[in-house]
A and B are shown apart, each in its own frame.
Chain A
Amino acid sequence: MDRVLAYVAIVVAIAVLVGFYVSWRATRLDRLHARAEAARASVDAALARRSAVALELAASGLLDPATSLLIAGAAHDARAAGQLQPIAATDGEAQPRELAESDLSRALRAAFGQPGFRESLTGKGGADELLAEIEAAGHQVFLARKFYNDAVAATLAARRRRLVRLLRLAGAAPVPAFFEIDDAPPAGGDGSDGADMPRLTG
Chain B
Amino acid sequence: MKVGIVCPYTWEVPGGVQAHVKDLAEALRGLGYEVSVITPADDDTPVPSYVVPAGRAMPVPYNGSVARLAFGFVSASRVRRWVRDGGFDVLHVHEPMAPSLSLLACWVASGPIVATFHTAMLRSRVMHAAHPVLQTALEKISARIAVSEAARKTLVEHLGGDAVLIPNGVAVQRYAGATPMRGWPGDGGAIGFLGRMDEPRKGLQVLLGAFELLAAERPALRLLIAGPGDVTEVAGKVAAELRDRVVVLGQVSEEVKAQVYHSVDVFCAPNTGGESFGIVLAEAMASGAAIAASDLDAFRRVLRAGRAGELFETGDPADLARAAGRLLDDPQRRAEVSHAAMTAVRSYDWSVVARDVVRVYETVVPGADRVAVAP
Contacts and interface: CB of A to CB of B under 8 A. Distances in A.
Genuine A/B complex: yes
A194 to B, nearest CB: 3
Given A198-B301, A201-B167, A38 B367 contact: yes
B363 A143 contact: yes
B162 A199 contact: no
Contacts of B168: 200, 202
Nearest to B355: A136
Interface in A16-38: 28, 31-32, 35, 38
B366 A45 contact: yes
B232 interface: no
A42 interface: yes
Given A46-B363, A143-B363, A201 B143 contact: no
A200 B368 contact: no
A144 B359 CA distance: 10
A140 interface: yes
A193 interface: yes
A78 B139 CA distance: 31
Interface in A165-202: 191, 193-194, 197-202
Contact of A197 (B169, B170, B280, B347): B347
A197 B304 CA distance: 10
B148 interface: yes
A147 interface: yes
B143 A199 contact: no
B276 A35 contact: no
Nearest to A192: B304
A201 B277 contact: yes
Given A31-B139, A144-B363, A200-B170, A153 B347 contact: no
Contacts of A147: 142-144, 363-364
Interface string A62-99: 00000000000000000000000000000000000000
Interface string B335-364: 000000000001110001000000110111
B17 to A, nearest CB: 13
Contacts, number: 103
A151 B368 CA distance: 14
Contacts of A157: 160
Given A200-B276, A201-B148, A31 B140 contact: yes
A55 interface: no
B348 A200 contact: yes
A200 B278 contact: yes
B149 interface: yes
A141 B298 CA distance: 28
Contacts of A150: 143-144, 161-162
A3 B113 CA distance: 50
B60 interface: no
Nearest to B16: A202
A158 B282 CA distance: 43
A47 to B, nearest CB: 12
A153 B156 CA distance: 12
B128 to A, nearest CB: 16
24 contacts: A28-B139, A31-B139, A38-B142, A38-B368, A140-B359, A143-B360, A146-B164, A147-B142, A150-B143, A150-B144, A153-B161, A154-B138, A157-B160, A158-B139, A194-B352, A198-B298, A198-B301, A199-B167, A200-B279, A201-B167, A201-B277, A201-B278, A202-B148, A202-B278
Interface of B: 110, 112, 136, 138-140, 142-144, 148-149, 160-165, 167-170, 274-280, 282, 297-298, 301-302, 346-348, 352, 359-360, 362-364, 366-368
Given A38-B364, A150-B144, A199-B167, 7 more contacts: A38-B368, A142-B164, A154-B161, A194-B347, A197-B302, A198-B298, A201-B149
